[in-house]
Structure 1
């Protein structure tokens, strides 16, 4: 259960530029909950490959986090703050984003049972696993479906169709960066917010971060002439619009055009038949 930030722009951009100093500090302060590691992935403008840095330390205590956040690393990227699911260790192998070749993936949610999720994977996909999380298995299943379909959007749609049918109470909120697109997934309408876990972390309800008890899985986005941004709930900056419930979309890295993905709903219906 984590926090996500993604951006696509016409020029190399830093996380600090995306949020501004005040809201970057507010986002970083969410480590009061989401302090079980952090990671960034970005499209390197020189090599046109995806690079990443991850750490099992809390972002607020890791100087590398603040340093990277100030660098204009690339024209597209994502940031993930982790709150580990109970029972899953805080290790580098379990830290998002997960990166493979030209793909990077970060997840906010939980898919259970994990062994049933892993059962969807081919032997090749299981052999590529490095950690214990459902999130990495989600990523490997998406990659598996993309390989089967030969297309990023069709593969992601296939994966979401299967997962929404097989795990209807899961939050599938995620960011997926490919060589050509940033995909945002906001599918969680039957997922339960971890309210009891939040209450155990704080002495009073007033201390719990903004929208964490009543809109935990919300995602917001905003468009500018030269950029598209998406963020999980937790801070309250002006100018952001809510991402519609149970939707997925793609942002073209070159044109910034946003396209809604509806194929996953069809795939879900076919899987249920």
Structure 2
């Protein structure tokens, strides 16, 4: 299992400064979620920069250097805890990216090939790694051929729900326009029963100049300025004005194939 953290700010700022109150607890989680880290961030020149390492974030000099050196108004961060049997390699390290898109997932589904038939064949042929998470991203990319990011996320999750066993489909998607988050847990999964009802919750906090969305474990609690993202809803944080909205995609509530 993994941990997610996303942020959008009103102006480009060093991530080390933007997340000064969250870096220490988030990095601390890498003592358990220790199979690598990744950061995707929009740079002031309009390029999407992706940095990764297979070392735990707390033991990786590159992690601290990335936070100190990334000047951005929108970023997502990921700490990986690899699913059993999946190797700890750069190609399996989140976030996955394609052009102006970056994606990170917290959870798993099985079997890994459960949605392969729903993925554009060219995208599937170009897969870098072995993870279910990358397949999730490729299904989102396939959906994006015909749908907007909100629908693509929710419907891709529904596709997985129909065809696979899963623990969580929580994910972040970073685009040129916005940061999106999707939340869904299977409470009957072994991980959910063992970890408890808060482990897969995503929460978000909006305050002057900054909106963040985060997995549990960094002090994000109901109240205290944090709001719970309901299951099977998509959170949208616009880069242009920090407008925050949540979306319920009705066609995805039960499931959607094709």
**1:161 Cα deviation from its structure 2 partner:** 3.0
Q: Which moved more, 1:165-174 or 1:68-77?
A: 165-174
2:251 is matched with which residue?
Answer: 266
Q: Do the aligned partners of 2:171 and 2:183 also contact (CA within 8 Å) in 1?
A: yes
Q: Do the aligned partners of 2:116 and 2:135 also contact (CA within 8 Å) in 1?
A: yes
Q: Secondary structure at the match of 1:153?
A: helix
TM-score, with structure 2 as normaliser: 0.90
Q: Following superposition, which runs of at least 4 residues in structure 1 exceed 6 angstroms of deviation? A: none
1:94 aligns with 2:86: no
The superposition leaves residues 173-207 of structure 1 with CA deviations (integer Å, 9 ceiling, x where unpaired) of: 000011111110111143636379x8xxxxxxxxx
1:58 is matched with which residue?
Answer: 56
Structure number with the higher helix fraction is 1
Gaps of 5+ in 2: none
CA distance in 2, matches of 1:214, 1:165: 22
Q: 1:164 aligns with which of 161, 166, 179?
A: 161
Q: Secondary structure at the match of 1:182?
A: strand
Q: Do the aligned partners of 1:44 and 1:73 also contact (CA within 8 Å) in 2?
A: yes
Q: Which moved more, 1:65-74 or 1:125-134?
A: 65-74
Structure number with the higher strand fraction is 2
1:202 is matched with which residue?
Answer: none
Alignment of 1:187-226 (within 5 A): 187-190=184-187, 192=189, 194=191, 213-226=196-209
**1:220 Cα deviation from its structure 2 partner:** 1.5
CA RMSD, 1 decimal:
2.2
CA distance in 1, matches of 2:176, 2:12: 16
CA distance in 2, matches of 1:193, 1:243: 22
2:15 is matched with which residue?
Answer: 15
CA distance in 2, matches of 1:25, 1:252: 26
2:214 is matched with which residue?
Answer: 231
**1:156 Cα deviation from its structure 2 partner:** 2.6
Gaps of 5+ in 1: 199-211
**1:61 Cα deviation from its structure 2 partner:** 1.1
1:148 aligns with 2:146: yes
